[in-house]
Structure 1
Amino acid sequence: MARQSVTTQKITRAGTIPTAASPNVDGDIIDTGASVFLLVSNTGGSLAQVTVQSQATFDGLAVEDLVVPLAGGVTRAIGPIHTGTFGFPDGNANAGRAFVDYTGTPADIKRSVLSY
Structure 2
Amino acid sequence: MRGPAALIVALGLGQLAAHTTMTLSEHAHSPAPGLVMLGAHAGATVACALAVLAAERLYRVVTHALHVVLASLAPAAVTSRGHTVSTGIHHGPVDALLRASISRRGPPALV
Q: Give the TM-score taking structure 2 as reference length.
A: 0.20
Higher helix share: 2
The structure in which a higher percent of residues are strand is: 1
Larger Rg: 2
TM-score (norm 1): 0.20
Higher relative CO (Cα under 8 Å, sequence separation at least 6) belongs to 1
